[in-house]
Each structure stands twice: as C-alpha cells, then as structure tokens.
Structure 1
Amino acid sequence: MDFLKSAVASAISKGPPFPYTFGDRADVDSSIWALFNGTKREDGSNCSIFSFEINDSTRSRLPLAKNALRKLRTLRHPGVVRIIDSVETDTYIYIATERITPLSWHVRREALNTETIKWGLHSIAITLKFINEEAASIHGNIRTSSIYTTESGEWKLAGFEVLSSMKDDDPITYKFGGLLPDSGRYAPPEVVKGGWDTLRNQPIHVADSWNFGTLIYEVFNAGAFTNSEQLAQAKKIPPDMVVSYKRLIQQNPKTRLSVAHFLEQGSRGRAFFDTPLIHVAQFVENMGVKNQDEREEFLRELEETGDQFPEDFFKAKVLPELLKSVEFGGGGPKVFSVVLKIGEKLSDEEWESSISPCIVRLFAVPDRATRVFLLDNLPKMIDHLPDKVVNDKVFPEMLTGFSDVAPIVREQTVKAVLVVVPKLSDRNINGDLLKYLAKTQNDEQPGIRTNTTICLGKIARNLGPNTRQKVLTAAFTRALRDPFVHARNAALLALAATADIFDENDCAVRLLPTITPSLVDKEKLVRTQANKTLEVFLQRIKTLTANYPDTAIPNPTVADSGTAAPRMGTAQTDESSWAGWAISSFTKKLSATSGEIERAASPSGLGNEPRPTSAPTVAAQTRPSLSVGARTASASTLHRKALSPATPARSSFLGDEDNENNDPDAWGDLDEEKFFDAEDSSGSTKPKPTDTKSFDEWGEPDIASMANKSKSPLPKGLTKKATAPVTTAPRIGVGRAFSNAKGNVAAARKPPGKTTGMKPIAARTKLAPAPVIKAEVKADAWDDDPGGWDDGWDI
C-alpha cells in the first residue's frame, strides 16, 4: 500500500497538476479501476478517485479506461456517478468523482433491507431506461461492481468501459466487450454462443436486460452468483417481483423483457416498486412543484415509515430538501417536525452544519405558528445548539415572545425559559430575563402568571446570589395575593421547593408572615399546601437556629470590687405560672431593704395630713380620672400627630384589606417594631403630663382651666380666688366625693340643695355622661400606661 501511494505521488509530480489528495483504497472487484477515497486540497471536501495505471499488463484495457472517462464526461444523468475532475497522461488516468462506496460492500455484508434494495433497483432501472431509449446506447457492464452508493445512500451507475451508442461507426461494445473482467460469467446466452457481434442484430436492450436480471439475483442473494443455471432459482427475491424477474432472464433475446417494461410493471399500483421509500425519494426530487395537499400526504408517509428508510438517505437527500421547504417553500411546522425526527440520528457536527443555521433563521421569522412550534420542540434542539448561539442569536429573538399580543406565544415563551436557562449567561439571566418575567407575572392571563411563578421557582438556583432572595421574595409574596387559586398554590409550592436558599432572617421576618394568611384561605387546596409550606419553613428556621447561643445578653461585670452588680433573677419556666412575675431585676437581700417607705406628696404640696378614720378609703386598684385639661391636651396632641404629613405611617405586617376586620380597641396600636413597653423606633413618643396643675389620686380638678375653656359665663357666686386646684377622686361605695384643700370630705356630705362653692362642680359632673367618661378613661389608661397592665389585668 505504501509503495502504491508513493508511485501515485511520483506520477502526479511528473504529470499535469491534480489538485486532489489520495486517501485509503476502496477495493473494487471485477473492475479495471483502483478506487481511492480522496479530498480536494482547496477546501478539504470529500471525493473519490478512480485510478488506472498504464503499464504493460494493463495496456490492453486502456481503450476501456479511455471510453469510460469519455462517457462520464458526456453522459449527464441523476442516476450516473457525478464526475468532478479528471487528468489523463501517458502513464495514468485519474478521475475525481463525488464520494462513493462500491455496492458490493453492502451486498456481501447483507446490510441492505428489501425496501432499500427495491429503491436502488428502481433508480438503476430509470438510468438504464434513459441509456437504452433516450441515448440509444448499450451499457454492457451491469453488475454490482459497476454500481456505487453515494453518501446519501442512493445507487449510482458507472462502469462505462464498453458503453457505446448504436449510432457510432464502430461501437466499442462489439469490439472490446470480451476484455471486461469476468465477462463470460455475466455475458448473456447469445453472446456466450456467438460473441459480442451477435448483438448487432438484436434489440438494444437485450444485453442490459440480462445483466439487470443478474444484478437482481446478486443483491437479493448476497452476491452468490457463479453461473447462469443459478438464475432460475429466485431464492430471496420478493415473490411479487419473481414473474417480471424471470422475463428478464429469458434465454430467447426476442422474448426478453426490457428494463423499461420491467420498470413500468413494477410502478403499477401495489406492485413491487410501489413502496413508501420510492415515493418519498421521488417526491423529494420534485418537492418544489408540489401543492400543499401533496406535501401533507408526503409528510404523513414520511412520519409513518421513516424508520424503514436508510439513515444516509435522510441525512444527505431528504433533510436538505426539507430545510429548503421550511425556510423558503412554506413548509411550516409540519415539515420541521420531520426535520427534527431525522435530526435525532445526526451527530453534533452534522447538527451544527445543517440544522442549527436553519433554527436560528426560523427564530427570526415573525410567524407565530413557527415560533410556537420552535418553543414546543426546543428540548429536542437545545442540546445540539452551542451556548454562544443560544445567547447571541436564539435568546434575543425569544424575548420578543414575552410581549407578544397572542397569549399562547407568551405562555410558551415562559415555559421555554426552563429549557434555555442552563445555557444562558449570568448577564442574560439576571438582566433581561428577570425583567421580562416581572412583566409576565403581572399578565392579564392567570395561567401565564401561574407559570411564571413556577418558572421562577425552578430557575431559582440559576439566579445570581445578589438578586436571588430579593427577586424571589417579592415574586412569591405577590403571587400569594393573586386572586387565581392556582397562582397562590404555585407560590406556596415554589416557596417550599426553594426554602433552602433563604436565610433564617428572611424566613422568619419576611416569608412566614406572608404565608400565614394562606392558612385561612377560602380554597382547601391553598390551605393544605400552606400548612405543608409553613412546616417546611419552621423546620428550616429550627435547623438554622439550632446552634444559636442561649442568650445574647453579655455577662455582668463588676465595675468596683466593693460594689456588687445587680443580678437578674431566674425566669419562671413553669407553664402553669405563665401569668406570674417572669423575672426579678434586683437582689433579694434583707440588708438592701432597710428603712421606711415614704409617702409621696401631692403635686400641690397639700394633703399630707393623716386621714380621719371615719373617711372611707379609696381602693388601691381604682384608676384616677384625668383632668379635662389633660385629656384635651392629650387628644389634641394625638389629633395633630395623626393629621401631620411629616409623620410616617407605621407599617403593619397585614395589608390594609386584612386590617378592616380587626378591632382596634381590642388590639391597640400594633406596630412591627414596638411591643408593650419597648421604645418606639419611629421616634414619636406619647405626651407626658408635665403641667403642675395636673392631679394625682388626692388632688382636685382645675376649676380655672375648666372655666377658661367654657364659653358660658361663670355661675353666680363663683370667684377666681381659688388658690389650690380642686380635683375629684372616685370613691368606692360612697359615690363621687370631693376633697377640699385640707384633704377632708366634709363638702361631700353637705346637702345638695344648699348653694356652695362646689355647686358648679356638681353641675360639671352631671353634664358629662357616664358612658363617655368610661370610654375616655379606657383610652387614656391604655395610652398613659405604656405597659397596659392596670386595666387589662385584675389580680
């Protein structure tokens, strides 16, 4: 082999330029040619090279080689091997053709099924009909060694060593027919008896009809042909072809069936050439002139019987024609579905060279049916598309589908995100993709909103760590308020599936409050899923906080060695004592509790005298009433705060719609960042009474302040010389009693009929209805006492 290659290279260097490189040799039986696989130096394309070396041993067959070269140059037909280039010198003849493979290879390996053999015989029969009738020529060399298969699996005819026209003055068939290898085995009976000259008086087709019959026997019986006696036994030849086959091998040439008549008989309805593969091959060659109905029928047959066809035929012959029909012939999605079916058998390189460019061009087509079909079948294509093609060419065209007016296009685009997102860059995912998904989550179609939520949940781990929690929290929170039940359920499912990507703070502070309203959803589907999702997040929080320390309070330090730092008592953990005192702030030492308890003086400095024993005692639990001035000042201050535009509104973990059914009197002012006696983070504080005229338990009402705020004149006999404020104190069991400046209750025991200085006070008491006073006391008690314990607990 090395010697042969070196000889060929030496011959080329001495002759005219031949721009092709010889590769491996493909042996050809019963032929004068040596066949090599080759490549074109200019572009590296594949080809085959027929080589005939002229020497003393081959010089006698040189006329056959020259005739074959001349006929290949002049005879043009789809069923003939296509010649690309040739060179002829005194030492060699080289013929470069399309890449072909000897048919004898497939026949010996029995690699051809019956349908493929019929398709090949049909093609050779058409070519022979053209040679015998239109070209008025005799081939004279029909055998397996003269037939080749192309890269598309089609059978092509060659072996033109003795092909000659009956119009020639001296046809080469009659003169050199006997120089063919194994000519005696393949020669018809009349030639065996009288030589090739006997064909002069016979119809043109007789020799080729006989050889076509031997070809049928060879291809169906794996080439087991040694003599003409074997032809009588059909063996593996299909039964529907046997009758016509036997007429091809008639001993009498005058009764021998021509190849043209054989082709006609086989092409009839339900005959041996009436097969789906043959119909497909014929249709593909004329697809450009077929109407819509014929195309649909063709595609239906192709889908039903595609698995029976040769893969090479689909790759090299059918696929290019289908792609042309999709792009330029209006084939549409139906044609492209067949393309994808064929594409399943292609390698990545073949995909990239043939189908990928077509897909990119189809995404740019504005036809909605084509776009929906591409999006539906994207899972079949995405693995064959390079990442760069997806990011630079496919994805930008996909984005137009998010804003399309047709809901089906928007919905399919959202679904296709899951397919392309593994190939998208971080810039495309966290940029354009999230921007368009935010639009579809507000889509007017509830199904699109639901699918967008599902999509976000599935691509959560593809999002950037800086935007993941922010985007998902906002998206799922919005979906939980969606009026569409399946959208809310999808949000709960997505939250449960992505719980591991949230930290404990977001789980507890932001997500759990948004999940809990779903526990009382009107739909059982949502309620059930809400319980499951809530359990997932609770377990997540427990896992995250399992390693937290018991307390974040630092250990107390002793500033001075001689001074003991105050210690905190131990909190009660008994559930039965939940209403008891929780903690003690000071040490319980008798040495620290020495001395006497001092009585607090009243604001006016009066009332320090001991009370008479006859005076009724006031219950310790009774809450004193505020003065009218204090209540008015407090209400005015709160009113100004409520109307002030500079005061920020406190946010609530429930929405406005959720607060409509809440009882503000029962819950009070619930703030997210303020609970019981915690300081208000918003910076606003409750007004504290600092007026020296305010009263305590033993004080008296401010008559002057009440008089100044009244529009009516003062009653007769009431003067402004009062030097001490007058206050009222509710009495248990005695009714309403008033104390004078000396702290006694004598005024309360005077008959009401007599006019005294306290009569206006009695009138003031009658003017204030009891229910109003009760309501004011309740509100003031809650507002003035930050702890809110006095009226709420009766211990």
Structure 2
Amino acid sequence: MDFLKSAVASAIAAQGPSFPYSFGDKVDIDSSIWTLYNGTRRADGSNCSIFSFEVTANKSRLPLAKNALKKLRTMRHPGVIKVLDAVETDSYIYIATERLVPLRWHVKRKSLSPETIKWGLYSIARTVKFINEEGSSIHGSLRVASIYTSESGEWKLGGFEVLSNVKDDDAIIYTYGSLVPDSSRFTPPELAQSGWDAIKKSPHSAVDSYNFGTTIYEVFNGDFSGQYPAGQTKGVPPTMHAGYKRLVNTNPKARITVGAFFEQGRRSGGFFDSPLIKLTEGIDNLDVKSETERAEFLDGLDQLTDDFPEDFFKMKILPELLKSVEFGGGGPKAFGVVMKIAAKLPNDDFEARVQPVVIRLFGNPDRAIRVCLLENLPLMIDRLPQKVVNDKIFPNMVSGFTDLAPLVREQTLKSVLVVIHKLSDRIINGELLKYLAKTANDEQPGIRTNTTICLGKIAKNLGSSNRAKVLIAAFTRSLRDPFVHARNAALMALAATGEYFTEEDCASRILPVVCPSLIDKEKLVRDQANKTVDIYLQRIRKAAASMPDTILPPSQTADGSGPRMSTPQPSEVSSWAGWAISSFTNKLSAVSGEMQTANGTTTPQAASPSAGSESKRIASSTSSASALHRQAVKSPSPVPLSRNSTTSAPDAYFKDPSPIEDDDAGDAWGDMGDMNDDDTADAWGEPSDNTADPWSNTTTTTPATATTTSKPVKKTPAVSSKPFDDGSEPDFAGWLAAQAQKKNPGSSKPLPKGLAKSSSATAKKPLASRPASASTKSKKIDLKPKDTGGDEDGWGDGW
C-alpha cells in the first residue's frame, strides 16, 4: 500500500500538473473502473476522497472515465457528488471530491435504520427525477454501487460513466453501456433481449425506473441476485409495495417514472411523509421561515426519536440550529434539539462545534435562553473543562442569583448542584456562599427552601474551616422560617449533615434550636424534628459514653484526709434526695468539738461513725437538730460553688448571685416572693412549731425539753412565724466572726475576703429593717439572644 501511494505521488510529480491533494488509504469498493482513496487537502488538511483512473491499466474503458469526469463537472445538484478539483493526463485521471463512503458498506453491515433508508431513497429519487426531467438524460447505471454517503450522512449519486442526454444521437450509453462493470446483473429485461439500442424505443426514463426499483430491493435486503424482481417485496415497507411493483414492471411503457414515485411518496401519509424527511427539507431555509413555520419545524424536531442519522445532524442540522439560536431567533426549543444532537457527539466534536456557542449564550441577556441553558446544563457539564466553567461560565451564571425574575433565580440556584464539582474551592467558599446567603433571605419561600436543600447537598464541598459555622447559621435560621417546607428542609438538612458537626456543637448549638420544632404546629415538621433529635441524641450519648466520669482532681481537707462530701452510692441514688443526706451526714462525721444544746450548755460529742445513725439522731429531737445544724455550718466546705468567684462555699451559697454570668437563670424559675404564708406552707409542708429560725439575730430562743411530749410548745413573741424571705443577705459574716472569736479569744486575724461585713451600719441594723435585695424584685425576662461574639470572620452575619 505504501509503495502504491508513493508510486502515485511520483507519477503526479513527474508526469503531470500539480495536484494539491495527498493520497491516503485505499477504499475497498465493488467492481468499478475507478480506484477510490481517502485523501486530504494539502492547504488546510481537510478531508476529501480521490477517484483515480489509470489509463494504461484500463484503456478500453477510458471513454467511460472521461464521460464521468465531464458530467460530474457540469452536473450541479445537492444529490450529486461534489467535485473539488480534477486533473486529466494521458496516463491518469484524478477527481478530488468531498469525503465519501460507499453505501455498500452500510448495506452489508445492515447499519441503516428504515427511516434512514427512506430518507436516502428520497434524496436519490429527487436527484434521478432532476436528471430525467430537467436534464433530459439517462443515468443508465443506477445501483447501490453508484451511491455514496457524505460526511453528513447524505446519500450522493455518482457512477456517471454512461450518463447521456437523450437528444444526443451518438450518446455514449448506446455504445459503451455494456462495458460498465457488472452491468448484466442490473440490465432491464428489454435491454437484455434487444440490446442497448432498445432504449430509443421506450421512454428514456424506463431504464432508470427499473434500476431504481432494484436499488430499493438492495437497500432493504442486501445484494440483488439479478433475477427478475417483480413481485418480490421481501423487506420492502408495505407502503412502498404498489409503487415498487410498478417501477420493476416488465413492460417498459407501463413503468412509472422515478419522478412519479417521488411525488407519490410525498403525499400526506405517503412513505416519504416522515419527520426526518421534513426536517432535511426545512433546515436549509430555517432562518427565513416565519415564526409559525419555525415553531412547526422545531416541533417536528422534538418528535424525532434516536433513530436518525447522526452524521447528518452533526454536519447539517447542528450548525444551522446553533446559528438560529444565537442569531436567528430559534429560541429555547431549538437549543433543546441542539442538546439532543450534541449528546451523541464525541468530545472533540462537542468542544469544537458546541462549546464556543454555549459560552457565548451564557452572556446572552435573554431570560428564556438563560433558563434553557441552565436546564440543559446537566447534559453538557461533564464535557466542559473546569477552567471554562470557573473562568467563563460561572461569572456569567451568577447574575441569575439577583435577577428580578424568580424563575431565573430558582433555576440558577438549582444549577449549583450541577456545577459544584467543577468550581474551585476559592469560588465555593467565597463568591458562591455570598450569593447563597442572599437567596436564603429571598422573598420567595420556594427559593429559601431550595437554598437550604442546596446547602445540605453541597456541604461536603465546603471548606472544613467554616463549614460548621455556615451550616449551623443557615439551618437554624431556616428553622424559624414561616414556610412549613423551609422548616422541614432545615430539619432534613441537619439530619443529613450531622457528621460535619462536633459533639459540642450538637449539644450546645443544634439541639437547643431543634427542640422547639418538636411542638411545631405542623405535624410534618414535628415528625421530622423527632427523627432529627433522635439522630443527634444517639450521637451525643455515644460520645458521652466514651468520656471519663470526671476531670476534677480528688479534693483534700486541711489535715490531709479524704473529701468531706462523698460520691453518691447506688443505694443512695435510689432516692432523689439520697445524695444530699449522705453529704450532710458526711460533714457531721468530720466535725469535732463540743455541741451546744438549746439551753446554752455544751455536751461533748464524738464523730458519728455512720450517716444513717446521725440521721436517726437528727430526727429524734428538734433541739438537737438545730444545734447540729449550726455546728455543721461551723466547718465550711473547701469546694467553691461560684463559677466566677474564689470565695468559700458558704459565701457562694448566700452571696448575692449577681456575679454569675447567667443572671437570667434564677428569674426563669419565677418570682416566689409573691407566695403568702399559706402557699408557702402548702408548697414545702407544715413547719415544726418548736423550730427556731437559725439565722435570726434575736437572743430569745424557745426552751427545749429533754424529752419529747405531745403537748405543743408555746412560741415566743420574738420569733416570727412568717418564713424569712426579704431577699437580703444574712449576717453570716458577723456570726462567723463571733464564732471564731469565741474559739480563739486572743486572735485578731481578719476574716477571709468576701466574708467581712460590708459596713458597721449594716451589721448593726436588724435584718427586718434592711431593704429588700434587688435580686428579689420582679424582673422582665429578656428573650433576645445574647451576642456570642464568636463570629470572627463574619459568616454568621450573612445568615
């Protein structure tokens, strides 16, 4: 093969004029006087085909080759092979044409669909009609071997070796008709009996009518055997049977012309009345059609199935449609057909033919075109390079986020899910999130809902540094949306993105805002809230199960002994107050010294061996319980209870709670100062009649008897029966100083900071005369969220 190509090229260079085309591979064709090569044009590298005839090898058929060259040069018709250039010398004839493929290849592979065959026969019939009627000529060699397909898939007629004008008495068909290779197999019956001169005795179209009938049989069934085909309708569509039989009639005068067959098929409901044929007929003048005609044409395109010639749509339909969409007003419907065709294009063809137009269309201000582009974006996004999406498409696409038309905003929002994997991290975490923050506040509830859904689906693409902050801010805001589906979408998004939040975020930032949805007015939201809460609770419980019991170091007393407040034991936890009793009795067990009775005498008391016995002893006598209580307070616990203070436990218990940060926590319980005496008694139980107020400043006490009696003890007038609830601080510092002075009379060591009296006036003033503390005044609860101050980069503000 290489030797042959080099020999041909050498012959061209040495013997004849320059031929600006290069020979490629040889194409295998049926028996013919021509040798077909694939070729390229040297100037631009475009494809072509080259028909080569070597004079010395086939000199007897030289008139046929010269006639073919002459007719191809002069015959101009869309259905005829297009000649690019030709060169003729004494030794060879070269004809450069458009790139062609023999139709025989497709017939042998049976790669043609019935609709495509009808479309091809339609084109050949129209061409033969032109030759017979307008050209007053006879083709004389019509068969599958003389038909080729172009790069666009269109059927092109060749084989002009014996094409002759009937007005020419010396036409080549009469003399050289029998020299056409394999002519005997396709010769009509009258010519087989009487020779080629019989053409003059019959209508000049009779030969081509018969050969067109045999061509129909070939394309539907394969090779034509040469036997009489009349009545053999195998494979031929039923709608063609009548016309086909009349084409192959044995009587040449009874045959219908190819033109008549063509017109018969074009009738409404005829075999040539198909969407594909209508499309090919109307594509050439699409730009000059009226709006109504263009709409009808495009509707026909939508009705086409996948059963159409891909090459024709790529080479012919696609360029015309793209031109119509961009300049001719084809609109979204035409672009929809473009996408249907482009789906079958290889990536190289898509990049060369479709991508440049798509990029330009994204800059088109026509809203209908923009929406159509966004709707079809999933069909082409995989074929668009990432650089093209980032640099050329997305900058034009984002204008849809702020468009006045809600449809454009919504479609732009939906397209985010399509292009997200093509966007860079810088664009995703910068420009895109800013636009999504705007759509999250859109006036259209559907757009707000879709923004929440979009964020939930692109969560994996967000940067890990600000992902949790953005998602929590967006979803928790949507939980307060008045649109029910927006709230439901927020709950579903939280359930789907839980993996991106820490356990601390789940417990402190998400669950508190999700829980109100458990009592939402809409059952749809309540059901989803329950599912979401269950997901987060399971995660929090799992995390809590792996945490240590405590992170506090073991506390020590001053003398190095163990902690005074013991850890609740299982037996104690059975009662809700068991831990408190255990702590109290443990404090008693650590007390040493003398116990003071109610009448002022002291009694030696050893440390109690067990909490249980002390509890019983406390319950046995009211007077002893009061004394034990004062003795227990004498030894303060070293564990501070205030979150922002280093004072000791008693100071933390009775100091004004205002230093605690969460000053609204106490107010949340309600104002209990409004309860009257009866209410207080009902709430806490009847007080014992013989129990004195341990924090009263009066020196008068109720005498205690050594033995219990059923006779009630008369209260002294100095003790008020009303519970102490004026909200002021007890004079605990003064009492503690007196106890310390009594224990160490010679010591002048000052009290710890925080326990000293604020002023002498306060210490001397009776408790009853002090003004009520501000903490007991009724306070309006502020429900506004507190400023956390943790939004350093401003992501929370956007949401």
Coarse TM-score class (shorter-chain normalised): 0.7 to 0.9
Cα pair 2:556 2:563 within 8 Å, conserved = no
For structure 1, which segment, 218-227 or 486-495, has the greater mean C-alpha deviation from structure 2 after superposition?
A: 218-227
Cα pair 1:500 1:540 within 8 Å, conserved = no
Cα deviation digits, residues 351-408 of structure 1 (max 9, x gap): 3333333332332222222222332332223223222222222222221111011112
Cα deviation digits, residues 404-439 of structure 1 (max 9, x gap): 111121112112211111221111111111000000
Cα pair 1:556 1:565 within 8 Å, conserved = no
Say yes or no: does 1:564 pair with 2:560.
yes
CA distance in 1, matches of 2:718, 2:26: 123
CA distance in 1, matches of 2:722, 2:173: 148
Choose which of 639, 661, 665 in structure 1 pairs with 2:671.
Answer: 665
CA distance in 1, matches of 2:592, 2:331: 97
CA distance in 2, matches of 1:521, 1:235: 72
CA distance in 2, matches of 1:733, 1:238: 114
**Counterparts in 2 of 1:255 and 1:273: CA distance versus 1, 3 Å:** same
Following superposition, the deviation at residue 131 of structure 1 comes to 1.7
**Counterparts in 2 of 1:163 and 1:773: CA distance versus 1, 3 Å:** farther
Following superposition, the deviation at residue 280 of structure 1 comes to 2.2
**Counterparts in 2 of 1:491 and 1:590: CA distance versus 1, 3 Å:** closer
Cα pair 1:109 1:222 within 8 Å, conserved = no
Say yes or no: does 1:731 pair with 2:719.
yes
For structure 1, which segment, 217-226 or 547-556, has the greater mean C-alpha deviation from structure 2 after superposition?
A: 547-556
Say yes or no: does 1:27 pair with 2:28.
yes
Following superposition, the deviation at residue 197 of structure 1 comes to 4.4
Q: How many residues are aligned here?
A: 645
For structure 1, which segment, 201-210 or 461-470, has the greater mean C-alpha deviation from structure 2 after superposition?
A: 201-210
Cα pair 1:568 1:586 within 8 Å, conserved = no
Say yes or no: does 1:145 pair with 2:141.
no
Following superposition, the deviation at residue 276 of structure 1 comes to 2.8
CA distance in 2, matches of 1:414, 1:493: 19
- Within 5 A, what are the aligned runs for 1:251-330? 251-330=250-329
Stretches of structure 1 lacking an aligned partner (at least 5 in a row):
600-615, 623-646, 669-694, 701-728, 737-769, 784-795
CA distance in 2, matches of 1:191, 1:285: 40
Q: TM-score, normalised by structure 1?
A: 0.72
**Counterparts in 2 of 1:221 and 1:446: CA distance versus 1, 3 Å:** closer
CA distance in 2, matches of 1:78, 1:438: 58
Following superposition, the deviation at residue 455 of structure 1 comes to 0.9
For structure 1, which segment, 331-340 or 233-242, has the greater mean C-alpha deviation from structure 2 after superposition?
A: 233-242
Following superposition, the deviation at residue 259 of structure 1 comes to 2.0
Cα deviation digits, residues 32-77 of structure 1 (max 9, x gap): 111223334444433222222232x312222222322232222221
**Counterparts in 2 of 1:666 and 1:68: CA distance versus 1, 3 Å:** farther
Cα deviation digits, residues 256-287 of structure 1 (max 9, x gap): 43222222222223233223332222122332
Paired residue secondary structure (1:506): helix
Following superposition, the deviation at residue 501 of structure 1 comes to 0.5
Partner of 2:92: 92
- The residue type equivalent to 1:50 in the other structure is F
Paired residue secondary structure (1:346): coil
Cα pair 1:213 1:249 within 8 Å, conserved = yes
Cα pair 2:103 2:145 within 8 Å, conserved = yes
CA distance in 2, matches of 1:44, 1:367: 38
**Counterparts in 2 of 1:150 and 1:572: CA distance versus 1, 3 Å:** same
Cα pair 1:504 1:545 within 8 Å, conserved = no
CA distance in 1, matches of 2:588, 2:289: 109
CA distance in 2, matches of 1:653, 1:347: 69
Partner of 1:450: 449
For structure 1, which segment, 314-323 or 425-434, has the greater mean C-alpha deviation from structure 2 after superposition?
A: 314-323
Partner of 1:687: none
Following superposition, the deviation at residue 497 of structure 1 comes to 0.8
Say yes or no: does 1:51 pair with 2:47.
no
CA distance in 2, matches of 1:501, 1:734: 57
Cα pair 1:566 1:585 within 8 Å, conserved = no
Cα deviation digits, residues 741-774 of structure 1 (max 9, x gap): xxxxxxxxxxxxxxxxxxxxxxxxxxxxx9x989
Following superposition, the deviation at residue 222 of structure 1 comes to 1.3
- Within 5 A, what are the aligned runs for 1:421-432? 421-432=420-431
Cα pair 1:567 1:585 within 8 Å, conserved = no
- The residue type equivalent to 2:50 in the other structure is I
CA distance in 1, matches of 2:18, 2:288: 42
Partner of 1:521: 520
CA distance in 1, matches of 2:131, 2:90: 30
Cα pair 1:36 1:49 within 8 Å, conserved = yes
CA RMSD across the alignment: 4.1
Cα deviation digits, residues 74-110 of structure 1 (max 9, x gap): 2221101122233334433332222221112222333
Say yes or no: does 1:107 pair with 2:107.
yes
- The residue type equivalent to 1:185 in the other structure is R
Partner of 1:36: 37
CA distance in 2, matches of 1:48, 1:147: 14
Paired residue secondary structure (1:377): helix
- Within 5 A, what are the aligned runs for 1:62-81? 62-81=62-81
- Within 5 A, what are the aligned runs for 1:684-699? 697=697
Cα pair 2:230 2:249 within 8 Å, conserved = no
Partner of 1:743: none
Partner of 2:577: 579
Following superposition, the deviation at residue 445 of structure 1 comes to 1.2
CA distance in 2, matches of 1:391, 1:171: 67
Paired residue secondary structure (1:50): strand
Stretches of structure 2 lacking an aligned partner (at least 5 in a row):
599-622, 631-657, 675-694, 701-716, 725-766, 780-799
**Counterparts in 2 of 1:416 and 1:730: CA distance versus 1, 3 Å:** farther
Partner of 2:610: none
Q: TM-score, normalised by structure 2?
A: 0.72
Following superposition, the deviation at residue 535 of structure 1 comes to 1.8
Paired residue secondary structure (1:319): helix
